[in-house]
């Protein structure tokens, strides 16, 4: 995983975990990699991974089963969608809207591009 400079690493790791959940790679009640395993895999400090897991636990996306490890929560998909949607609407969408306005891009053009993107990336 390559980290970007514009966002804290623990938040980027949270996005990575959330994406795995949304794509169905990690399912409800499934064990997630331990803090140490994830730290080694992503080449980060275990404290950074722990901070990520604490954030995701607070958002009810993962649960800590003491002595066993972290597991995907039953309602993880709904909670991930809610968490990510809020982030997108508050942080990313205003930038998109600004560019749409400045570049005079119509909603029909956006819809066509969106439909093509979905077809090429999510409909095998």
Highest CATH level, class, for 9-76 = mainly alpha
Q: pLDDT tier at 5 (50, 70, 90 boundaries)?
A: confident
Distance CA 90, CA 121 (A): 25
CA 19, distance to chain mean position in Å, is 4
Domain positions in the chain: 9-76, 79-122
End-to-end CA distance of the chain: 24
- Indicate whether this model's pTM tops 0.75: yes
Distance CA 30, CA 33 (A): 10
pLDDT tens profile 50-78 = 999 999 999 999 999 999 999 999 999 99
Tokens 């990690």 locate to: 26
Q: Look at residues 75, 52, 76, 54 and name the one whose alpha carbon lies nearest to residue 64.
A: 54
């Amino acid at each position: 995983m390559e980290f970007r400079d514009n966002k804290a690493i623990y938040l980027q790791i949270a996005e990575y975990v959330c994406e795995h959940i949304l794509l169905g790679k990690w399912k409800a009640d499934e064990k997630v990699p331990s803090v140490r395993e994830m730290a080694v895999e992503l080449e980060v400090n275990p404290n950074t991974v722990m901070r990520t897991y604490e954030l995701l636990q607070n958002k009810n996306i993962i649960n800590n089963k003491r002595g066993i490890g972290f597991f995907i929560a039953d309602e993880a998909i709904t909670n991930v969608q809610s968490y990510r949607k809020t982030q997108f609407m508050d942080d990313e969408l205003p930038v998109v809207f600004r560019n749409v306005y400045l570049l005079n891009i119509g909603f029909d053009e956006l819809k066509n591009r969106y439909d093509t993107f979905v077809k090429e990336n999510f409909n095998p």
